[in-house]
Amino acid sequence: MPQPNFDPVEVAALQPEAIEAEVTTALKAIAAAATLDELKTARLAHAGDRSPLALANREIGALPPAARKAAGQRVGAARGEVAAALTARQTELEAERDARVLLDESVDVTLPTDRNPVGARHPLTTLQERIGDIFIAMGYSVAEGPEVEAAWLNFDALNTPGDHPSRELTDTFWVESVDSGLVMRTQTSPVQIRVMLEQQPPIYVICPGKTFRTDELDATHTPVFHQVEGLVVDEGITMAHLKGTLDHMAEQLFGPGMRTRFRPHYFPFTEPSGEMDILCFVCRGRSVGNPDEPCRTCSNEGWIEWGGCGMVNPRVLAACGIDPERYSGFAFGMGIERSLMFRSGVADMRDIVEGDVRFTAAFGMES
């Protein structure tokens, strides 16, 4: 009969077969744990203090010394295997749980997000800025002046004869009285006169602004409209420079390949003077003599009238104290509304002036 106190005892729990069976049971339970809670239960059952392997571990001390090492290794390896399986399953289940939480938190990202009120700038404002920037980039300054203006600056200094019909009440708004000498400026040209009175050449200015004529509002006219005029006075300025400048402006505003054409015309402020046409922005001239591609915008002319231009009349330079023998200059002007109609396809002038928010909103911050 063996002596339990000092004889090695055959412990059933430490038999390799028993340990192997326990490991198999544990791994099966761990794999079967579908939730973190079930895994916790499995951990207690198979890796806890009272788990078969923990109990087996305690029995090792009862073995004869010669058998302890092998049994210790066996139980240690088994516990390690179970612990690794637990950790792996724990990681797996946590990842599944996290994924489920994020899925539960998902939203409909297509819901509207436009909480903040949306504003817009008027396209006439942004177009004037854009034109200003084209010229700023060429070294010009933006010049401005008052809208109620001295008639001398609006007419006389621009070489408009004293009896010119444009001065009449039928064309020009007079302020206070017909002999007040004050008008609502009919053009932005008085700004050019102010510039020439205030500085000597070289002068490179662009003058955008509001102008006024006694036209009733309709689809193509408005009594309050916007113009942009340019003025250059320097040594050696020629009409070729005028043409180059306007061609550049046309390309910048309307796209590559756009260009201008001059036709002789009469303006008191300039001599020689010209009407300025721009290549039709719809057909770009393709409709000319081409019945297959008719163009309603330019009536198959290929060109559209855009503004007026010319070389500054030497009489105007002299009236401003600039030596016409030394300096020459060019000037040009065009309507902003008309340019906007070209650029953005505005069909009716009233849409531009009536202040309907739906019109302006379509242009956003920069047109």
Partner 1 sequence: MKAPIGWLAEHADLPTDLDPRALADALIRVGLEVERVESGAEDISGPLVVGRVLSFEDEPQKNGKTIRWCSVDVGEDEPRGIVCGAANFAAGDLVVVSLPGAVLPGGFAISARKTYGHVSDGMICSVRELAIGDDHQGILVLPADSAKPGADALDVLGLREAVLDVAVTTDRGYALSIRGLAREAAAALGVAFRDVEAALPPADGAAYGVVIDDRSGCDRFSARALTGLDPAAPTPEWMARRLRQCGMRPISLAVDVTNYVMLETGQPLHAFDRTRLRGDLHARRARAGETVRTLDDVERALDPADMVVADDTGPVAIAGVMGGASTEIGPTTTEVVLEAARWNPPSIAYTARRHRLPSEASRRFERGVDPEIAGIALQRCVDLLAEHGSASPVAGYTVVGSPPAAEPIRLGAALPAATAGVDISRPQVVAALQVVGCAVSGDDPMLVTPPTWRPDLTHPADLVEEVLRLVGYETVPSVLPPLRPGTGLTPAQQLRRAVSRAVAAAGFTEVLSYPFVAPAVHDALGLPPDDPRYDALRLVNPLSEAEPELRTSLLPGLLAAVQRNLGRGNRDLALFESGLVFLRDPDAPPPPDLTVLRRPTEDEVAQLYAAVPPQPRRTAAVLCGARRVKTWQEAERPADWSDAVDFARVVARAAGAELTVRAAERAPWHPGRCAELVLGDRAIGYAGELHPRVVAALDLPERTCAVELDLDAFPAPQPARAPRISTYPPVLLDLALVVDEAVPAAAVLHAVRDAAGPLLESVRLFDVYQDVQRLGRGRKSLAFALRFRADDRTLTVEEATAARDAAVAAAGLATGAALRS
Scanning residues 125 to 164, which ones bind partner 1 (CB under 8 A)? 125, 129, 132, 136, 138-142, 144, 146-153, 156-157, 159, 161-164
**x/- site string to partner 1, residues 347 to 366, per CB under 8 A?**
------xxxxxx-xx---x-
Listed residue (253, 212, 171, 223) closest to 350, CA to CA: 223
Nearest approach in angstroms of CB 110 to partner 1 is 12
Length of the chain counted residue by residue: 367
Nearest approach in angstroms of CB 320 to partner 1 is 6
Pick the binder of partner 1 from 65, 112, 256, 291 (CB under 8 A).
Answer: 112
C-beta closer to Zn ion: residue 50 or 296: 296
Q: Does 278 bind Zn ion (CB under 5 A)?
A: no
d(CA 228, CA 101): 62
> If you write DSSP's letter for every residue of 242-289 in order, what string do you get?
HHHHHHHHHHHHH-TT--EEEEEEEETTEEEEEEEEEE-TTTTTTTTT
**Residue 283 contact, options partner 1, Zn ion, none, Cβ 5-8 Å cut-off depending on partner type:** Zn ion
Nearest approach in angstroms of CB 282 to partner 1 is 21
Q: Does 48 bind partner 1 (CB under 8 A)?
A: no
- How many Å is the maximal CA-CA distance in the chain? 147
Pick out residues in 227-256 that bind partner 1 (CB under 8 A).
Answer: 232, 234, 237-241, 243-245, 247-248
- Span near partner 1 by CB under 8 A; candidates 27-35, 49-57, 92-100, 318-326: 318-326
**x/- site string to Zn ion, residues 26 to 55, per CB under 5 A?**
------------------------------
Assess contact for 258 and 350: CB atoms under 8 A. Answer: no
C-beta closer to partner 1: residue 70 or 362: 362
Pick the binder of partner 1 from 68, 130, 286, 315 (CB under 8 A).
Answer: 315
d(CA 129, CA 194): 21
Residue 261 C-alpha from the chain's centroid: 33
d(CA 223, CA 26): 93
Pick the binder of partner 1 from 52, 201, 230, 274 (CB under 8 A).
Answer: 274
**x/- site string to Zn ion, residues 185 to 224, per CB under 5 A?**
----------------------------------------
- Report which residue type is found at 323: D
d(CA 57, CA 37): 26
Burial 320-346 (b: 16+ CB within 10 A, else e): bebebeebbbbbbbbbbbbbbbbbeeb
Nearest approach in angstroms of CB 300 to Zn ion is 7
Nearest approach in angstroms of CB 137 to partner 1 is 8
Pick the binder of Zn ion from 193, 207, 276, 295 (CB under 5 A).
Answer: 295
104 token code pair: 């539960």
Q: Does 273 bind partner 1 (CB under 8 A)?
A: yes
> If you write DSSP's letter for every residue of 50-88 in order, what string do you get?
TSHHHHHHHHGGGS-HHHHHHHHHHHHHHHHHHHHHHHH
Binding site for Zn ion (CB under 5 A): 280, 282-283, 287, 295, 297-298
